Amino acid sequence: MTAEIRQVPVPGKMEDNYGDKVRVGLIALCDDLAVDRDFARMIPDDRVALVTSRIFLEQPNSKRTFMDMADRIPDTVKLLCPLLRLDSIVFGCTSATSYIGEARVAALVRSARPGVNVTNPGSGAIAALKALRAKRVSVITPYTVANTANVVRMLTDGGIEPVQVSCFGFDTDMDIGSVPRAAYLDQVRNTDHRDAQAIFISCTATKALDAIDQIEAVTRIPCVTSNQAAFWHALRLAGWNEPIPGFGQLLRSWW
């Protein structure tokens, strides 16, 4: 005999969904395994919620493939919990932002979600470095020389002066994601940072987040990564003002 199905009332009052204080939407590249993992690790508690949508990026990475991605941004935004409040949306690609342009990225996101706060790893890094009073930076990327040069241009246009720049030479997210986190620590140790006020490690697909505290201990200067900066900036734009320990000076000392 089939059991009777009873509809019963919820005991007590209904609650809000996760993220009653801040909800962040993330546009993640289709082959990037690091960015949403890193964002999730930095979430301090259930007052902050993350929702992710994937966007296609042809490999290997180049100016053409990054520019081709631009027209796909609005449709990707429409998949980010369209019936729920979002406070900030992050376009999760540093290099693509450097080619498409920070202003155009924001306009494309807002064409599908009017009025929302918008950031990206490039804008986040520039804002973070300025908050840290770090105008002169050492830059490390996993990219090719050409893609690194374009990110350096974006930083320079934003008022940041790269004084040391090194890159590993990869042009796919799969290879970038396979670079050990220790490689960034080793590169930091093998670079003279005497003219730098901070270190910036570019790209959302890296394993660099977990090396931030070690890098800061070795160099005695702040370390900013793409994912850390984009997450910080998204929360800051949404009004968050509480320290989040474990991910470097930027999140530990709220600005």
Q: List pLDDT tens digits, range 168-222.
A: 999 999 999 999 999 999 999 999 998 999 999 999 999 999 999 999 999 999 9
Query: Cα angle vertex 33, ends 201, 169, to 5°?
Result: 45
The token pair at 218 is 């070795």
As annotated, the residues of the chain forming the CATH 3.40.50.1860 domain(s) are 123-226
Helix orientation angle between 145-157 and 121-131, rounded to the nearest 10 degrees: 50
**Sheet with 136-141, side-by-side order of all strands:** 161-167, 136-141, 198-201, 223-225
The token pair at 66 is 């990054």
pLDDT score at 164:
95
Instruction: Look at residue 3 and tell me whether its pLDDT is greater than 70.
Output: yes
At 98, which helix (H) or strand (E)?
Answer: helix 94-100
pLDDT digits (tens, 9 = 90+) for 21-79: 999 999 999 999 999 999 999 999 999 999 999 999 999 999 999 999 999 999 999 99
As annotated, the residues of the chain forming the CATH 3.40.50.12500 domain(s) are 22-120+229-252
Strands (E), the chain: 22-29, 48-55, 88-92, 117-119, 136-141, 161-167, 198-201, 223-225
pLDDT score at 255:
62
Supply the pTM of this predicted model.
0.95
**First vs last Cα of the chain: how many Å apart?**
63
pLDDT digits (tens, 9 = 90+) for 111-160: 999 999 999 999 999 999 999 999 999 999 999 999 999 999 999 999 99
What is the helix, strand, coil percentage profile of the chain, to 5?
A: 40, 15, 40
Indicate the CATH number for domain 22-120+229-252: 3.40.50.12500
pLDDT score at 134:
97
Whole-Å CA distances, 31 to 172, 174, 177 = 9, 7, 9
Give the fold, CATH level 3, of 123-226.
Rossmann fold (3.40.50)
The token pair at 238 is 């949404």
Residue 7 Rama label (left phi>0; alpha psi -120 to 50; beta)? beta
Instruction: Look at residue 9 and tell me whether its pLDDT is greater than 80.
Output: yes
The token pair at 9 is 């009332």
At 176, which helix (H) or strand (E)?
Answer: helix 173-176
In three-state secondary structure terms, 48 is strand
The token pair at 13 is 């009052």
